[in-house]
């Protein structure tokens, strides 16, 4: 059950999202409720087309739900004005998208520096130092730090996108298939970074993924199918991993 005080940093209440009307209507998310606590890394898994990415977009303020609420850091996210919601995302949220969303004209170093200088008012020298440290951590130090997206491989672009999200130390971090373009050696490193962002800085992390190797790193595991949260025996068997003891979250029964 949800905390009656609604104290968790990220809460979804009876979320529903449909597309189209009449005979063309499809329901991507159907009455989903969940909560994720501070310092927790939650994993959202399920087959393609199950509604995972749509749910991530609803919870992160990128896609308006047809009905339901999102309470993020105490704010009723979809009751805010569009400008206030954009400011909220800029100040508190980090995003890792499948499509990278990098600026074509900027080098890897500049992509990260820009977040710190323009988003957080950090000095140029400090932004340069922190960007260099993050890129080194992601295996993109030296010459690669000065390459533009067109000169980087898919996996390298994904690591730049991950560094851009992590470098601002967000309180809410949303990742959509962050390891899909990476070999597992790099993918595991990325998952460890996401886990550390939760456990060491108190961030709330929600990660959409298909790879079951990630399950032992998670504090919570949600399984989604046909737009709803479901129980899953296979994930139940995986949840007692060597790194943590994630709790597989079953559908919440909430008062209306």
pLDDT score for 231: 74
Residue 198 lies in a domain: yes
Residue 137 lies in a domain: no
pLDDT score for 232: 64
Residue 17 lies in a domain: yes
Cα separation, 77 vs 59, whole angstroms: 9
Find the CATH number of the domain harbouring 20.
Answer: 3.40.50.300
pLDDT score for 86: 94
In this prediction the pTM is 0.84
Residue 71 lies in a domain: yes
Tell me how many degrees the CA angle 221-75-94 measures, rounded to the nearest 5: 55
Number of domains in the chain: 1
Nearest to 208 by CA among 15, 55, 66: 55
Which H/E stretch holds residue 167? none
Residue 96 lies in a domain: yes
Residues of the chain with pLDDT under 70: 1-7, 232-256
pLDDT score for 173: 96
Domain extent, residue 58, equals 10-101+172-249
Nearest to 93 by CA among 105, 104, 103, 80: 80
Residue 228 lies in a domain: yes
Residue 218 lies in a domain: yes
Residue 240 lies in a domain: yes
């Amino acid at each position: 059950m949800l905390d009656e005080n609604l104290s968790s940093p990220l809460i979804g209440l009876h979320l529903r999202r449909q597309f189209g009307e009449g005979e063309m209507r499809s329901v991507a998310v159907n009455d989903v409720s969940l909560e994720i606590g501070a310092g927790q890394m939650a994993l959202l898994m399920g087959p393609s087309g199950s509604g995972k990415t749509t749910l991530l977009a609803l919870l992160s303020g990128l896609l308006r739900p047809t009905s339901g609420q999102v309470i993020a850091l105490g704010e009723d996210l979809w009751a805010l004005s569009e400008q206030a919601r954009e400011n909220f995302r800029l100040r508190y949220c980090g995003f890792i998208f499948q499509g990278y969303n990098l600026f074509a004209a900027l080098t890897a170093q500049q992509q990260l520096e820009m977040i710190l200088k323009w988003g957080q008012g950090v000095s140029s020298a400090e932004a340069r130092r922190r960007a260099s440290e993050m890129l080194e951590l992601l295996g993109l130090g030296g010459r690669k730090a000065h390459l533009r997206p067109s000169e980087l491989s898919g996996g390298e672009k994904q690591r730049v996108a991950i560094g851009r999200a992590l470098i601002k130390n967000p309180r809410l971090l949303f990742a959509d298939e962050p390891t899909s373009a990476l070999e597992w050696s790099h993918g595991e490193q990325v998952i460890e970074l996401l886990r550390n962002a939760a456990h060491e800085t108190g961030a709330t992390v929600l990660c959409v993924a298909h790879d079951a190797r990630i399950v032992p790193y998670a504090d919570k595991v949600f399984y989604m199918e046909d737009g709803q949260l479901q129980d899953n025996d296979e994930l139940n068997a995986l949840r007692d991993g060597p790194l943590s003891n994630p709790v597989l979250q079953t559908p919440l029964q909430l008062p209306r």
